[in-house]
Amino acid sequence: MTKEILLLSGPNLDQLGTRSPEIYGPLTLVEHVDRFTKAAEDLGFGVRHLQSNFEGDLIEAVHAARGRSQAIVINAGALTHTSWGIADALAMFEGVKIEVHLSNPAAREPFRHVSTLASVVNGSIAGFGATSYSLALDAVHHLLGPQ
């Protein structure tokens, strides 16, 4: 059976392409998701993607992934720094969990230095622009093994 990766995108990531391209790069979210999906399919994974500007939608997507998806790759946007609700939901998910960021929050404003998700994920990848997503896929592949 094909293993599924749930790719989650939090608030304001729907604005990529025009949102601070000097920080986040020129690609739109659709382009990031297309690249990720094609590369994942080449490795034998299926991908389901959700972007939401609402915390509860992301929490419910994590709940729905329990027992269905084998991995979650999440860029929670600014909710990374505030959301104990997403962290609690991820803690219940039994599969692989990778936190991903285009920029390097640790090198930016102090409020970005805290991640509520960091302690409940397998690992975090940040600061490599579009390559952060392919590194996150590598991490999933590494942890789940060849398909």
- Label residue 52 left, alpha or beta by phi (over 0 means left) and psi (-120 to 50 means alpha): beta
Any contact of residue 80 with ligand DQA (CB under 6 A)?
Answer: yes
Considering only 77, 89, 116, 140, the residue that binds ligand DQA (CB under 6 A) is: 77
Distance CA 114, CA 28 (A): 26
**What CA–CA distance (Å, rounded) separates 3 from 86?**
23
- Does residue 15 touch ligand DQA according to CB under 6 A? no
Rounded-to-integer distance, Cα 91 and Cα 70, Å:
14
* 82 lines the binding site for ligand DQA (CB under 6 A): no
Give yes or no: 133 in active site.
no
Residue 51 lies near ligand DQA (rule: CB under 6 A): no
Catalytic residue among 32, 101, 133, 141: 101
**115 lies in the binding site for ligand DQA (CB under 6 A):** no
In the residue annotation, 101 being an active-site residue is answered as yes
Q: Is 85 helix (H, G, I), strand (E, B) or coil?
A: helix
* Interface with ligand DQA (CB under 6 A), residue from 51, 62, 105, 141: 105
